[in-house]
Amino acid sequence: MENQNSLLWEVTFWEFLFVTVVLAGAAAYLTGRAAARGWLPKGQLAFYILLLTAATRFIHFALFNGTLLSLHYFIVDLIVLLAIAFAGMRITRAYQMSTQYSFAFLRSGPFGWKRR
């Protein structure tokens, strides 16, 4: 499975899993969490994740001989990191709404809240 280009990863699956999903995914989750705590708009979070994706592509390039300027794999990494970041933002926002405004909202699942 060494350097077999596929639809989702350019390097091996394990390198994609470690760098994009685990390392950059953790950073994306924490970025989404910080954006929710600061009540930042979603567009600003998307911009931060765009920068994180560029750094992730550089790590693939520098450590694992991936392609630095590959639009396809940049978009794949961007989609994965955006999904993780927006999940982190939504989980934190649901917690905020149910604790800070507990008189008006109840938590309904990990991603949502509802009116009392």
Helix or strand run (H / E) with residue 106: strand 105-107
54 inside domain: yes
pLDDT score for 12: 83
pLDDT score for 113: 84
pLDDT score for 75: 95
Q: What is the pTM of this model?
A: 0.88
What is the number of domains present in the chain? 1
45 inside domain: yes
6 inside domain: no
85 inside domain: yes
3 inside domain: no
65 inside domain: yes
pLDDT score for 3: 52
Residue 72: which domain range?
13-115
- Burial letters 6-28, b for 16+ CB under 10 A, else e: eeebbbeeebbebbbbeebbebb
46 inside domain: yes
* 3-state SS assignment for residue 81: helix
Compute the C-alpha angle 98/22/1, nearest 5°.
145
107 inside domain: yes
- Tens-of-pLDDT digits for all 116 residues of the chain? 455 567 777 778 899 999 999 999 999 999 999 999 999 999 999 999 999 999 999 999 999 888 888 899 999 999 999 999 999 999 999 998 888 888 888 888 888 888 88
pLDDT score for 61: 92
